[in-house]
């Protein structure tokens, strides 16, 4: 019993120290959790020191004047691994730039919590799974570039609710079914969807189920 209590006592001190060193938000923790998931041969995440009060001095992280994380720029950084649910805690994030890496795994549904996100750039990675419906909660989203991945499944109809969406690029994936035609989708060019061999073209409302051919 005695060693266990001693261990716990140690843990308590550590916990207090770590807890105190954290910012009043947990954005740093969320980012650090991302670092833990990534293999980083070029050391681009080296400056991510979890003992700092906030992550605003970390490279590739941009904060606003209130020390809230608004940009994450890890495009072209030769990182691999997966995106975890914790990234959904960066509620002030506007730009998520993880393009041109070797990131695999699925797009976590928690990214739908990034209510201030303007740009979701995950293109040219090795992402699998389907496009989460939860992305339809990204009311501020203007740019969604998920092209050149290995995404499968159908394009969630819920995305048609993204009234601010100006640019979508889902090309060069393995998507299936039909393309939504409502909402912002009424303006997107077909090249945004090309090279998805199982994608059948725009949906005819009420006539064909959208996941036709999935």
Partner 1 sequence: MDVIMALAMAGKLSRSSIVLALLRLLPLFCGILLAPSCVATPDTVPATLLQVKAGFTDPDGVLSGWSPEADVCSWHGVTCLTGDGIAIGLNLSGYGLSGTISPAIAGLVSVESIDLSSNSLAGEIPLELGTMQRLRTLLLHSNFLTGAIPPELGGLKNLKVLRIGNNQLHGEIPPELGNCSQLETIGLAYCQLSGAIPHQIGNLKQLQQLTLDNNALTGGLPEQLAGCSNLRALSVADNKLEGTIPSSFGSLSSLQSLNLANNRFSGEIPAEIGNLSSLTYLNLLGNRLTGGIPEELNQLSQLQVLDLSKNNLSGEISSISASQLKNLKYLVLSENLLEGTIPEGLCNGKGNGNGNGSSSLENILLSGNNLGGDIDALLSCTSLQSIDVSNNSFTGEIPPAIDRLSGLVNLALHNNSFTGVLPPQIGNLSNLEVLSLYHNGLTGGIPSETGRLRRLKLLFLYENEMTGVIPDEITNCTSLEEVDFFGNHFHGPIPEKMGNLKNLAVLQLRQNDLSGPIPASLGMIRLQLAGNRLTGAIPTELGRLTGLKILDLSNNNFSGDIPPELFNCSRLTRLNLEGNSLTGAIPSWLGRLRSLGELDLSSNAFTGRIPVELGDCSGLLKLSLSDNRLSGSIPPEIGILTSLNVLNLQKNGLTGVIPPEIRRCNKLYELRLSENSLEGAIPPELGQLLELQVILDLSQNRLSGEIPASLGNLVKLERLNLSSNGLHGQIPSSLQQLTSLHLLNLSDNLLSGAIPGALSSFPAASFAGNDELCGAPLPRSSSCRAPRRLRLRLLGAEVSVIVAAIAVVSAAVCVALLYIMLRMWSNWRAVSVSISDGEESTASTVAHGKAAKWGARDGKYWKVGSVTSAAEGKYSSTSSETSVLHGKPARAVNSKS
- By the criterion CB under 8 A, which residues form the site for partner 1? 1, 4-5, 8-9, 12-13, 15-17, 19-21, 24, 47, 51-53, 57, 59-60, 62, 64, 70-71, 73, 75-76, 94-95, 97, 99, 116, 118-119, 121, 140, 142-143, 145, 163-167, 178, 181-182, 184, 186-191, 200-202, 204-205, 207-208
What's the min distance (Å) between Cβ of 209 and partner 1? 12
Nearer to partner 1, 21 or 36 (CB): 21
| Contact indicator for 135, 154 with CB cutoff of 8 Å | no
Count the Cβ atoms, other than its own, within 10 Å of residue 165.
24
Shortest Cβ distance from residue 57 to partner 1 (Å)?
6
Q: Residue 27 Cβ, how far from partner 1 at the closest point, in Å?
A: 14
Nearer to partner 1, 75 or 128 (CB): 75
Of 15 and 36, the one with the shorter C-beta distance to partner 1 is 15
Give whichever of 9 and 36 is closer to partner 1, judged by the CB atom. Answer: 9
CA 53 to chain centre: 24
C-beta closer to partner 1: residue 40 or 128: 40
Nearest to 79 by CA among 98, 63, 59, 105: 98
For the bound state, the minimum distance from the C-beta of residue 85 to partner 1, rounded and expressed in Å, comes to 16
**By C-alpha distance, which of 65, 3, 55, 10 is closest to 34?**
55
Considering the complex, state which of residue 84 and residue 128 has its C-beta at the smaller distance from partner 1: 84
Q: What is the dihedral of CA 45, 51, 121, 88, to 10 degrees?
A: 140
Distance CA 184, CA 1 (A): 63
Which helix (H) or strand (E) element contains residue 110? none
Report, in Å, the least distance between residue 167 CB and partner 1.
5
Least distance to partner 1, CB of residue 47, Å: 6
Cα separation, 210 vs 214, in Å, equals 9
Can you point out the beta strands (E) in 65-191? 69-73, 80-82, 95-97, 102-104, 119-121, 143-145, 152-154, 167-169, 174-179
């Amino acid at each position: 019993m005695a060693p266990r209590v001693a261990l716990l006592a140690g843990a308590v001190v550590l916990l207090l120290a770590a807890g105190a060193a954290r910012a009043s938000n947990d954005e740093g923790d969320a980012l650090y959790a991302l670092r833990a998931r990534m293999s980083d041969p070029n050391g681009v995440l080296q400056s991510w020191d979890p003992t700092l009060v906030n992550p605003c001095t970390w490279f590739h992280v941009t904060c606003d004047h209130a020390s809230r994380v608004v940009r994450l720029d890890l495009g072209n950084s030769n990182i691999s691994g997966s995106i975890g649910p914790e990234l959904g805690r960066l509620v002030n994030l506007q730009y998520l730039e993880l393009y041109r890496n070797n990131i695999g795994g699925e797009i976590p549904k928690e990214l739908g919590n990034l209510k201030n996100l303007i740009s979701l750039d995950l293109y040219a990675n090795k992402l699998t799974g389907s496009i989460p419906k939860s992305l339809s909660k990204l009311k501020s989203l203007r740019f969604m570039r998920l092209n050149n991945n290995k995404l499968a499944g159908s394009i969630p109809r819920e995305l048609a609710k993204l009234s601010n969406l100006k640019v979508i690029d889902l090309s060069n994936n393995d998507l299936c079914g039909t393309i939504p035609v409502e909402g912002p989708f009424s303006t997107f060019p077909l090249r945004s969807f090309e090279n998805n061999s199982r994608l059948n073209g725009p949906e005819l409302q009420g006539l064909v189920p959208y996941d036709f051919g999935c």
